[in-house]
Amino acid sequence: LGKKQEGAEPMSNFEHTVATILCCTCGEAIPPNPSNMCVNCLRSQVDITEGISKQVTVFWCKGCGRYLSPPNYWLHAELESKELMGYCLKRMKGLNKVKLVDASWIWTEPHSRRLKLKITIQREAFRGTILQQAFITEFIVQNFFCPDCHKVEAKDTWDSVCQLRQHVDHMRTFLWLEQVILKHKANTNCVKIKEHPDGLDFYFSVHNHCTKFLGFLQSVLPIRWKQAKQLQSHDMKSNYFRYTYSYSVEIPSICKDVLVCLPKQMNNQMGGHSPLLLCHKVSNVLHFIDPFSLREISMGPEYWNHPFRHCCDRAHQQEFIVMEIEPLGVTRGKLALAEVTVARASDLGRNDITFNTVTHLGNILQHGDSVAGYDLSTINVNDEDMAALRGRTVRSEIVLVKKLYPNRRKRSRRRHWDVKKLDMEADTNRGTDDVRMRNMEEFMRDLEEDPEMRSQIELFKVPGVEHPDEDMEEEGDEDFPEVQMSELLDAVNSLTL
């Protein structure tokens, strides 16, 4: 090996020049490529967006807000959502021949009936040469009624109807059920809701929607139903038959805070204890409690094996004042037995008649509180309803139901919350406006006094109405379960859906 020459630079410091060629079109020096053209000339000579739709028409149903995906599928999608972008890209022709790099929305006026997408694609122009280009596609939105909305506008093309009935003289159950339906959006597929004197009719254009709604009712109430169908038309050649289905659904007449007397046969099956029970909760199961022993009984579908009526309802309740109360030491959850001395509120200042009884409200009542209850000695009931009590001794003829807040009710003020309402056809035979307002006011009071009942529905803020100040609370109502702002949702423009 020869010796390294002094002053020679290492080979790594030599600069390498990149070979260039001249563009065959404009003569600009460019790195070598298979097309022998610069990028600008290549774009002017080759359009990689050729064959891709730049303007597409999409059909949108004004009635339900869905988009038509041919041939017959209708898609729910919000404006500028991922679902709508995927729908628009699928409607474009020629996009499957290129590589999609990016897609984004371009804002347009809501009333312009136009949707715009900026799309970036890549495509091989020549062998080994890949170009990337961005372009804008415009989608024209045209109104087109879907078949379901056509049936709704026709107003007489329903396929199934669910006739919900409860044979009582008030509407509190249906007012509560209305809120539960709205919370779970069970009315989405209803084409029409009609009011009747003892219930509601729900109309559906698809039979499966009606059966789904029926399953929802089973999850919230102990119902029973009967099905009937009627042939509307048929085609013998194609073996096609069109029926309309009717479901007659019955809700038990047992409501919250009513007093019942179990039939003898059912009472024997339940253990043969006192048949006099108080209904303290209604869900998909009826919950009863013995106010004198805290014994609880639950009935689901077995209620319909031996259905019975209530013997006393809210119309028979009287107001009592607690004079003395002494706990007995027996508790079950929030309830506790207590021996209490009460007097009728109407007798105060007139006589000194008092009553001794046992109540399940030992943890709730205090001296001086007002309480609603039944006085069995003054109530005229049907003998058949009380047949199970023959030969039995009732521990007390006074049955206390729930605590009242009379001082609270004396103040008239606007509520800072409200509930939504279903859009339905009203029935003039159901009652006057005064009756409707009275039923609605009783329902709103039940919501105010029962936090558990409020948790089952949605309450909304009323704009412009402030929450009542706690300092304004009157004496004796400190434990009133006020509706808190944390329980309320933001108000909407219209509370009728």
Of 385, 362, 216, give the one whose Cα is nearest residue 284.
216
- HSE at residue 221, side-chain half, CA atoms within 13 A, is 25
Q: Look at residue 14 in the predicted model and tell me its pLDDT.
A: 62
Q: What is the pLDDT of residues 22-71, one digit of tens each?
A: 887 787 888 887 777 787 787 777 778 888 989 999 999 988 889 999 88
Of 59, 67, 58, 49, give the one whose Cα is nearest residue 139.
58
pTM above 0.75, yes or no: no
Which residues, in sequence order, are bridge partners of residue 461? 417
- DSSP strand pairing (224-235 vs 286-289): unpaired
Q: What is the pLDDT of residues 372-416, one digit of tens each?
A: 999 988 888 776 767 667 666 678 889 999 999 887 766 667 788
Q: Look at residue 60 in the predicted model and tell me its pLDDT.
A: 94
CB 358 within 8 A of CB 396: yes
- DSSP strand pairing (296-299 vs 310-312): unpaired
Residue 199 burial by Cβ neighbours in a 10 Å radius (0-12, 13-18, 19+)? buried
Mean pLDDT computed over every residue of the chain: 84
- What does the pLDDT average to over 65-81? 91
45 membership: H or E segment, kind and range:
helix 39-45
Residue in the block written with tokens 């109104």: 143
CA angle 358, 257, 440 (to 5 degrees): 145
Q: Look at residue 20 in the predicted model and tell me its pLDDT.
A: 84
- DSSP strand pairing (55-60 vs 318-332): unpaired
Percent of the chain exceeding pLDDT 90 equals 38
Q: Rounded distance, CA 460 to CA 487, Å?
A: 8
Other C-beta atoms lying within 10 Å of the C-beta of residue 42: 20
Q: Rounded distance, CA 414 to CA 404, Å?
A: 20
Q: Look at residue 23 in the predicted model and tell me its pLDDT.
A: 83
> Residue 121 pLDDT > 50, yes or no?
yes
Q: Look at residue 1 in the predicted model and tell me its pLDDT.
A: 43
> Residue 452 pLDDT > 60, yes or no?
yes
Q: Look at residue 238 in the predicted model and tell me its pLDDT.
A: 85
Amino acid at 237: K
* Per-residue confidence band for 494, with pLDDT thresholds at 50, 70 and 90: very low
Q: What is the pLDDT of residues 151-162, one digit of tens each?
A: 777 766 788 999
- List, in sequence order, the alpha helices (H) in 390-449: 406-410, 433-449
- List, in sequence order, the alpha helices (H) in 131-258: 147-154, 172-184, 207-220
> Residue 12 pLDDT > 80, yes or no?
no
> Residue 97 pLDDT > 60, yes or no?
yes
Q: Look at residue 140 in the predicted model and tell me its pLDDT.
A: 94
Q: Rounded distance, CA 483 to CA 444, Å?
A: 11
Q: What is the pLDDT of residues 123-134, one digit of tens each?
A: 887 776 788 889
User: Which of 21-25, 86-90, 345-349, 484-488 holds the top average pLDDT?
Assistant: 86-90
Which has the minimum average pLDDT: 89-98, 169-178, 265-274, 462-471? 462-471
- Lookup: tokens for 170: 């008030």
* Per-residue confidence band for 475, with pLDDT thresholds at 50, 70 and 90: very low
Q: What is the pLDDT of residues 134-144, one digit of tens each?
A: 999 999 999 99
- Cis peptide upstream of residue 71 (ω within 30 degrees of 0): yes
C-alpha Rg value of the chain to the nearest Å? 37
Instruction: Return the higher-pLDDT residue of 271 and 355.
Output: 355
**SS3 call for 446:** helix
Q: What is the pLDDT of residues 299-352, one digit of tens each?
A: 988 899 888 888 888 889 999 999 999 999 889 888 999 999 999 998 888 888
Query: Residue 156: phi, psi to the nearest 5?
Result: -140, 25
- What does the pLDDT average to over 76-92? 92
Cβ-Cβ contacts under 8 Å for 441 (sequence gap 6 or more) = none
Q: What DSSP state is assigned to residue 15?
A: P
* Per-residue confidence band for 271, with pLDDT thresholds at 50, 70 and 90: confident
